[in-house]
Amino acid sequence: MLQVMTSWNLSRPDTNDEPNFENIMLRGDDQRSFITGEFSIRISDKIIKPLSVSSIADAYCPTQRDFYFQKGKNKPNLPRGNERWGQKVGYLVEEAAELLLLKYKKSHRKKYGTIRALCEIINDNFRATKAQRIKDISLLETGDHTVRQGDTEWLLTLIGKTLSLELAHRHLGNVLRDDDSIHISDIKIKQECEIEPHPNQIGISSPSTPDFIIPSHNLIGDIKSGLKFEPHYQLTCAGYALAYENAHPKTKINWGAIYFFPTRNPSLYVRPITFPNVFFFPIDDPLREWFLKKRDEKFMIALNDSPPDFPPESDRRICLECKFKTYCESKGLKLGNVT
């Protein structure tokens, strides 16, 4: 998380040919960003519910069949289903990323050796506290460590190395601090991030909580994990920006940040040491329009009388890890030789 601070302070994207944010039209308090009257009425009548930013932005099933099972007007009464390794790991990564901001706030001048030693203590405490969850996650692994199945021990090694890097960024932030730079105290997480938009206007549920906000620099961010950075991750920042502007009309959110933690090892032969990547981008009108189109598409799907069809055969590899796989198979889904 503190890597966001250092990366911003060194790159300062807001000073390098930044877009003209004054010309942005699709702010969260602008009627052009509001849902249609039909959607608003259906929400008021409790036929459908407002959608979370993640349910709008996330993409798993190519036909959005999984979305309907969770948010659709006539969604079946299904058990929760099996959780995926990557999904369970995501929560663990978020907690590790927030750890130094929540529990270890002191910052002293340290050398690399003392940072590593301190981090070993912090990492041991983290593993002990999360022992049962780590065990549950490891049980979701099957067979060899392929991209699809996960590698919990490799992931835990990366978390430990990342904690060391984060501690170094904390020290670096104090040493190199400028008057207009982001400081640790500027980063807001957890309860400080709760947003209360107007669902009947923007269609986003309240409260809505991004992973972090840096109000002093008009920046909002999300923590993501997986094999690689996906373009649709940016939609979460656009959604939270719209929600924030809807709840706080006098405030503009202009920048998004994704703190991307690699949780899948792309290699069958080595376990590389790697670190999170940080992505900054302007939350401009094209990105906002993309989110709003996705929002309206999701509401249309939710209002259908029945769920979307199965994915085409060429896309059914994704079904192997879907928590609704058993249900879809009972309704005629054929996986055949999909591996």
Do the domain assignments include residue 310? Answer: yes
Q: From the CA atom positions of the chain, what is the Rg in Å?
A: 21
16-74 confidence digits (pLDDT tens):
767 789 899 999 999 999 999 999 999 999 999 999 999 999 988 999 999 999 999 99
Per the document, the length of the chain is 339
Separation CA 222–CA 231 (nearest Å): 13
| 166: its two tokens | 């984060």
SS3 for 9? Answer: helix
Nearest one of 51, 57, 52 to 73, comparing CA atoms: 51
Give me the chain's average pLDDT, please: 90
Residues of the domain holding 229 = 18-330
Do the domain assignments include residue 339? Answer: no
pLDDT at 228 over 80: yes
Do the domain assignments include residue 140? Answer: yes
Do the domain assignments include residue 72? Answer: yes
Higher pLDDT, 141 or 29: 29
Q: What is the residue type of 112?
A: Y
The answer to whether the CB of 21 falls within 8 A of the CB of 27 is no
Nearest one of 270, 193, 206, 268 to 237, comparing CA atoms: 193
Residues paired with 225 in a beta bridge: 261
What are the angstrom distances between the C-alpha of 1 and each of 88, 176, 319, 336?
Answer: 19, 17, 32, 43
pLDDT for res 145: 43
- The backbone torsions φ and ψ at residue 210, rounded to the nearest 5 degrees and listed phi first, read -70, 170
pLDDT for res 82: 66
| 137: its two tokens | 């996650």
- The backbone torsions φ and ψ at residue 66, rounded to the nearest 5 degrees and listed phi first, read -65, -35
Do the domain assignments include residue 8? Answer: no
Over range 124-142, report the average pLDDT: 89
The answer to whether the CB of 32 falls within 8 A of the CB of 291 is no
Of the listed ranges 33-47, 88-102, 205-219, the least confidently predicted one is 88-102
Over range 88-104, report the average pLDDT: 87
Do the domain assignments include residue 231? Answer: yes
pLDDT for res 271: 84
The answer to whether the CB of 307 falls within 8 A of the CB of 332 is no
Do the domain assignments include residue 3? Answer: no
Separation CA 115–CA 71 (nearest Å): 46
Count of the separate structural domains present in the chain: 1
Of the listed ranges 133-142, 161-170, 177-186, the least confidently predicted one is 133-142
Q: Tell me the pTM.
A: 0.92
Question: Which residues have C-beta within 8 Å of that of residue 32, sequence separation ≥ 6?
Answer: 25, 26
Angle, in degrees to the nearest 10, between helices 37-44 and 285-303: 50
pLDDT at 235 over 90: yes
Over range 149-169, report the average pLDDT: 89
Do the domain assignments include residue 120? Answer: yes
**C-alpha 17 chain-centroid distance:** 27
Nearest one of 183, 240, 238, 234 to 211, comparing CA atoms: 240
The pLDDT confidence band at residue 173, using thresholds 50, 70 and 90, is confident
pLDDT for res 148: 45
Count CB atoms within 10 A of the CB of residue 309.
9
The pLDDT confidence band at residue 109, using thresholds 50, 70 and 90, is low
Separation CA 259–CA 279 (nearest Å): 7
